[in-house]
Chains A and B, each alone.
Chain A
Amino acid sequence: MLEGKNLIVFFENAIAVNNLSFYVNKGEIVGILGSNGAGKTTLMNTISGLIMDMKLKEERKGGERITVLGQLLFEGKDITDLEPHKRVELGIVLSRERHPVFLESTVEENLRIAACSRRPKESRIGIDFVYSIFPHLKTIRKRRAGFLSGGEQQMLSIGMALMTKPKLILLDEPLLGLSPILQKELVRAIKEIRDDGVTVLITEQFARPILPIIDRGYVMENGMLVMEGKGSELIENPEVKAAYFGV
């Protein structure tokens, strides 16, 4: 469904994604595990196309600070140079790191905003679907997003991504900073999302909470994918254990 070939992303003085290739099959949950600064967010931004927007803004200011090389294929189509909103149209959506939502709007308004690029008939269905996955969001739907807890904002952020009716959802560290109970709740939701037909690519620093649900995983270090394997294989690997279980 999604394939990256020899992706390279340079920032002015650093290489954030270093010649990496990967693939995601339809219906999978694929994890990318790596510590802080490994390049996970840069990779997610490259797939969603946000990096194009960052690059454009830098270039308008006169700098040539971001370079993106390599190739991205989605359902066989080359999307390497596609603008982010066109990728959302194709069915790729990103729930950004640290769940930035529209703080001055209510929960329900956030969801309606997220459905802006969709036809209105589908919107209501989307909201019901999101509320069925995150029942808690329904109980706080009139509350302003600025008053939500981190966990609630994270649910909202994922819910907003779902409102675009994606085929592939990119989740950038959705469990970061959440309590174990909330992490469990989100992991359940992510599985439910996949069971509903949405392919999932998820990044995490700590493997423990997501290992049980991922079909495959990559380990990322300094912009490179250093290891690939089934969830169960990763769990057996002593290095993964040491590095990501905090043993």
Chain B
Amino acid sequence: MLTGIIVYGLVNSSILLLVALGFCLTFGVSRIANFAHGAIYILFGYLMWIFLNWLKIPFLFAILLTLVLSGIFGYVAYYVAVRRVRGIVLSEVVSTFALGVGILEFFRWMGFVTYEFSLPPIKKGSLYILGFPIDYQRLIIILAAIGLVAFLYFFTHYTKLGLSFRAIAQNERTAIALGIDADRVAALSVAFGSAFASVASILVLPLGIISINSGYEALLIAIAVGIVGGLESIPGMILASLVLGFVQIVVGVYVSSAWVMVVYLLAIIVILVVMPSGLLGKFKELEERV
């Protein structure tokens, strides 16, 4: 039982981290709460499905195409849905949420709601860890979560674009004074967030079917992990994913799986009341950015 909780807790935490990473990256860099995040996650799940099943594009190429298109989508979405209302938090949320609902309900209207809509796993089969069975896909999810965090660290410390992400995140006006184009960085931060969402959908969606509702759920996951973790630190997101991921598994095992979703909402409420800046967040940064 304990092995099971540990293994599935890790898998679940990795899923939460993968789903939330893009949302938190965008917010951490440019303070844009992209409420279309869950819809983007599903959009590129469906697109991947269309590439594989209708257009018969080879698997690896379809992945590449999905990643690139999701990045472009995020970039364009910034200019279409966010730029004009930039800085007005409520309008940003309403605008991106409207975009998200539009995307999701479009697929519902198109009839993308049956069981045939599922993505293939990257590798079929399973193995035993400490006598406990786990399939390759879930193992890949854990490795991918670790890999993505490592990538993010490398990217934000050693590439020019990543460094300008951190510059804007830390002090936008100083960054602008040094010649960084804040608008372009904001658009790229949405592009990266969107590409991260498509990575998550390629890895996580094969565990079930692609459904409209999981788009709304993905947004909830992103918000929960972001708020619990503090929205701007990678360690905070990892910690939040682990806490939420394990609590959910324990609740699922000992209470009832019906309560699993409640964990997100309770966590959001408790954190907002007790530690409004999150487990590892720093609210003071908001003042320093001015």
Q: Which A positions have Cβ atoms within 8 angstroms of B? A: 48, 50, 53, 57, 60-61, 83-85, 88-89, 93-96, 100-105, 109, 112-114, 116-117, 120, 160-161, 163-164
A60 to B186, CA, bound (A): 16
CB distance from A169 to the nearest CB of B (A): 11
Q: Say yes or no for B170: interface residue by CB 8 A criterion.
A: yes
Check if B173 sits within 8 Å of A102, measured CB to CB: no
What are 28 A-to-B residue pairs whose CB atoms are below 8 Å?
A: A48-B177, A50-B173, A53-B176, A53-B182, A60-B86, A60-B88, A61-B88, A85-B179, A85-B180, A85-B182, A88-B179, A93-B177, A93-B178, A93-B179, A96-B177, A102-B171, A103-B170, A103-B288, A105-B166, A113-B163, A114-B178, A116-B167, A117-B164, A117-B178, A117-B180, A120-B160, A161-B177, A164-B178
Check if A85 sits within 8 Å of B166, measured CB to CB: no
A103 to B171, CA, bound (A): 9
Check if A60 sits within 8 Å of B85, measured CB to CB: yes
Tell me the chain B residues, 171-214 only, with Cβ under 8 Å from chain A: 171, 173-182
CB distance from B72 to the nearest CB of A (A): 22
Q: Say yes or no for B87: interface residue by CB 8 A criterion.
A: yes
Q: Say yes or no for B84: interface residue by CB 8 A criterion.
A: yes
What does DSSP make chain B's interface, helix, strand, loop or mixed?
helix
Check if B173 sits within 8 Å of A116, measured CB to CB: no
CB distance from A144 to the nearest CB of B (A): 11
Check if B288 sits within 8 Å of A113, measured CB to CB: no
Which residue of B has the minimal Cβ distance to A104? B170
Most buried by B among A85, A88, A101, A163: A85
- CB contacts (< 8 Å) of B171 on chain A: these are 100-103
Check if B173 sits within 8 Å of A96, measured CB to CB: yes
Given contacts A53-B176, A88-B179, A120-B160, 11 further A-B contacts (CB under 8 A): A60-B86, A60-B88, A84-B177, A85-B182, A93-B178, A93-B179, A103-B170, A109-B157, A116-B161, A116-B163, A164-B179
Check if B178 sits within 8 Å of A113, measured CB to CB: yes
CB distance from A79 to the nearest CB of B (A): 14
Q: A113-B163, A120-B160 are in contact. Are A105 and B177 (CB under 8 A)?
A: no
CB distance from A129 to the nearest CB of B (A): 16
- CB contacts (< 8 Å) of A116 on chain B: these are 160-161, 163-164, 167, 178-180
- CB contacts (< 8 Å) of A104 on chain B: these are 166, 170
- CB contacts (< 8 Å) of A94 on chain B: these are 177
Check if B170 sits within 8 Å of A161, measured CB to CB: no
- CB contacts (< 8 Å) of A117 on chain B: these are 164, 178-180
CB distance from B20 to the nearest CB of A (A): 21
CB distance from B288 to the nearest CB of A (A): 7
- CB contacts (< 8 Å) of A102 on chain B: these are 166-167, 170-171, 174
7 closest cross-chain pairs (CB), A and B = A88-B179, A117-B179, A102-B170, A85-B181, A116-B164, A113-B167, A113-B163
